[in-house]
Amino acid sequence: MNNKQKKVLYRIIACSVMMIGLHFAPIDGILQLALYLTAYIIIGHDILLKSWKGIRNGQVFDENFLMAVATIGAFILAIYDQTGDYEEGIAVMLFYQIGELFQSYAVGRSRRNISDLMDIRPDYANMEIDGKLEQVDPDEVEIGSIIIVQPGEKVPIDGIVREGRASLNTSALTGESLPREVEEGDEIISGCINMTGVLKIETTKEFGESTVSKILELVENASSNKSKSEEFIARFARWYTPFVCYSALVLAILPPLFNILALNSAPEFDVWIYRALTFLVISCPCALVISIPLSFFAGLGGASAEGVLVKGSNFLETLANVKYVVFDKTGTLTEGSFEVDGVHHNEIEDKKLLEYAAHAECASSHPISHSLQRAYGKNIDRNRVTDIREIGGHGIIAKVDGIEVAAGNKKLMDKLEIPCEECHSIGTIVHVSIEGKYAGHIVIADKIKKNSKIAISDLKKSGVKDTIMLTGDAKKVADKVAGELGIDTVYSELLPADKVTKVEELIAKKNEDEKLAFVGDGINDAPVLSRADIGIAMGAMGSDAAIEAADVVLMDDDPAKIAKAIRISRKCIGIVKQNTYFAIGVKFSCLVLGAVGIANMWYAIFADVGVMVLAVLNAIRALYVKNV
């Protein structure tokens, strides 16, 4: 508990003690009234002050106003009726404060939970300066610097391991509890914790562009993307409270007037004013106003604990209604890390062909490019390469040592009007031409990710109607992959623009309330990510463009997390619905009971605080999704 909460707690205790004492004390008259008033001021002064401020700022109708009017009214009635029953008004204030305290404690707790999960911001980076290890601000580390990460420290900046090997704890990023091993030459992303060895890392990004910074930015912005339910509640509260206040006024005035004019009997103003005040207490909308945003907040937190970053609660809502899932192939369902299976060539040697291809690809971020560079194995001298042109869905054209090299698929060769040989191996074929003449091709093969098959079957189990794969790769490869995974529909040999058109077609065909998700790695498919109802990107291996264009980021590139994310979102939306119906239901029945005089103010405050506590406890459930 923080200090503010502690102060409220002390006031609650002081007020309770006073009330019990006064209940049994043999005093009455002015002294009794004065002591009860003191207890009232102790517990309620801040609420009175807030409602006064509200009135002065022209925002009259809020919970503070409801509570202030109801409790002051109860006091005045007690004085007027000379019953000496001042306890009611104080009790209302007391329970209201207990409820508020509980709520602020719960919200604080879940906030802290989430920031614990997101406790990945590194405070410093170690650099060797004049033979000594010094801590520097990660913001000041330039690309290509060597940083040192010791056991127990967080990796501050993305890079490549140049020396050492270690086990990394990636759980804060990916929700994955198995340690990941890295050694010399491996890529390493920031936010992981080094558990064992000392690592020397060559940075490949600036701190601001590194994975941690990107993630933190995402999380910080998530709460500004409000869901429809939250917007509804905000709008609801805006007209609801004034409506209740005017209804209470009507309830206090009309029946007594009716008594006088129509029945010719006593007006019974005090009875009806009391009922009107009860009405005010019951109608306080706090349970809804607090529990709905809290449920979403907890849902976002629960998802991030699983390594699924959702960029806002509106996307949780969309995710819950996903019925079509469209996948990109390379890097999404497959590892995107190709092995060279064979090099078939004309006159040139294997080595030379690979050398030209790898050099031409030196600036591309396509998985094929990385694989060719890896297969070549030697250092790539970027100075040898000029005039690089990457054509999405086709390949690369560049000059290596002044010689024009093209590397890509059959489409690229067709475009350059270079006749190429068919290859009978199943695999992705990278054709290479040198100075406009066909030089041969490299057959590369990709591995399917180990969870892809489970991902597809889980999606089907969770009620997804159709799984679809789009790829720029050859039909042969595409069909093979789709067959192995059990994908329903395949479209192959698509250009990046065709992918957008396909997704638009699919969106046009389905119902409005069935949502379509596109899952990609952002290489050649960032426009599709933003065009789909919801874009899901691979975070660890995907490009920065993907992470920006996507609505949901899977931190560990595991496609099985999609079904999990859908389940998390459904649980969260379920909780939101439960809370809405429950709170409105209870409130509404109490309002009716209050208006006809069955429920008194004690019931009213119990109903209000009770509903709020239950709704908040229910909301917090959304944080725990491990066992969905």
| Catalytically annotated residues | 328
Least distance in Å: CB of 536 to ligand ADP?
15
Least distance in Å: CB of 468 to ligand ADP?
12
The residue among 354 and 523 lying less far from ligand ADP, judged by its C-beta, is 523
Cα separation, 366 vs 65, whole angstroms? 60
The residue among 430 and 552 lying less far from ligand ADP, judged by its C-beta, is 430
Q: Which of residues 406-435 bind ligand ADP (CB under 6 A)?
A: 407-409, 428, 430
Per CB under 6 A, the list member of 328, 355, 557, 558 interacting with ligand ADP is 328
**Token pair belonging to 366:** 């396509």
Least distance in Å: CB of 334 to Mg ion?
10
Least distance in Å: CB of 213 to Mg ion?
24
Using DSSP's 3-state secondary structure scheme, residue 222 falls into helix
Cα separation, 149 vs 242, whole angstroms? 59
471 binds, among Mg ion, ligand ADP, none (CB under 5 to 8 A by kind): ligand ADP
The answer to whether 87 and 19 are in contact (CB under 8 A) is: yes
- Residue 428's identity, in one-letter code, is T
Beta bridge partners of 443: 342, 429
Least distance in Å: CB of 190 to ligand ADP?
26
Cα separation, 289 vs 291, whole angstroms? 6
Q: Which of residues 166-225 bind ligand ADP (CB under 6 A)?
A: none
The residue among 523 and 604 lying less far from ligand ADP, judged by its C-beta, is 523
**How many residues are listed for the chain in this entry?**
628
Per CB under 6 A, the list member of 122, 496, 522, 559 interacting with ligand ADP is 496
∠ CA 202-205-211, nearest 5°, is: 110
Using DSSP's 3-state secondary structure scheme, residue 376 falls into helix
The residue among 494 and 507 lying less far from Mg ion, judged by its C-beta, is 494
Look-up of token digits 């199943």: 426
428 binds, among ligand ADP, Mg ion, none (CB under 5 to 8 A by kind): ligand ADP
Residue 393 contacts ligand ADP per CB under 6 A? yes
In the bound state, the residue with its beta carbon closest to ligand ADP is 472
Number of residues that bind ligand ADP (CB under 6 A): 24
Least distance in Å: CB of 474 to ligand ADP?
7
Per CB under 5 A, the list member of 87, 328, 390, 533 interacting with Mg ion is 328
430 binds, among Mg ion, ligand ADP, none (CB under 5 to 8 A by kind): ligand ADP
DSSP secondary structure string, 483-524? HHHT-SEEE-S--HHHHHHHHHHHHHHS-TTSEEEEEE-STT
Per CB under 6 A, the list member of 205, 214, 329, 531 interacting with ligand ADP is 329
Q: Which of the stretches 17-25, 39-47, 386-394, 567-575 binds ligand ADP when contact is defined by CB under 6 A?
A: 386-394
Residue 524 contacts ligand ADP per CB under 6 A? yes
Cα separation, 545 vs 523, whole angstroms? 8
Least distance in Å: CB of 122 to Mg ion?
31
Residue 364 contacts ligand ADP per CB under 6 A? yes
Using DSSP's 3-state secondary structure scheme, residue 478 falls into helix
Beta bridge partners of 554: 308, 538
Q: Convert residues 365-384 into a mask of x (bound to ligand ADP by CB under 6 A) and - (unbound).
A: -x-xx---------------
The residue among 370 and 567 lying less far from Mg ion, judged by its C-beta, is 370
Residue 471 contacts ligand ADP per CB under 6 A? yes
* Nearest in space to 73 (alpha carbons), one of 249, 246, 243: 249
**Token pair belonging to 399:** 């000059």
φ, ψ for residue 346 (rounded to 5)?
A: -95, -90
Residue 330 contacts ligand ADP per CB under 6 A? yes
Per CB under 5 A, the list member of 103, 318, 330, 364 interacting with Mg ion is 330
Cα separation, 518 vs 525, whole angstroms? 10
Least distance in Å: CB of 518 to ligand ADP?
12
Q: Convert residues 510-529 into a mask of x (bound to Mg ion by CB under 5 A) and - (unbound).
A: -------------x------
* Nearest in space to 158 (alpha carbons), one of 199, 197, 198, 105: 199
DSSP secondary structure string, 212-231? HHHHHHHHHHHTTS--HHHH
Q: Which of the stretches 34-42, 222-230, 404-412, 534-542 binds ligand ADP when contact is defined by CB under 6 A?
A: 404-412
* Nearest in space to 559 (alpha carbons), one of 366, 315, 337, 328: 328
Using DSSP's 3-state secondary structure scheme, residue 446 falls into coil
Give the orientation angle of helix 87-117 with respect to helix 3-24, to 10 degrees: 160
Positions touching ligand ADP (CB under 6 A) are 328-330, 361, 364, 366, 368-369, 390, 393-396, 407-409, 428, 430, 471-473, 496, 523-524
What residues line the site for Mg ion (CB under 5 A)? 328, 330, 523
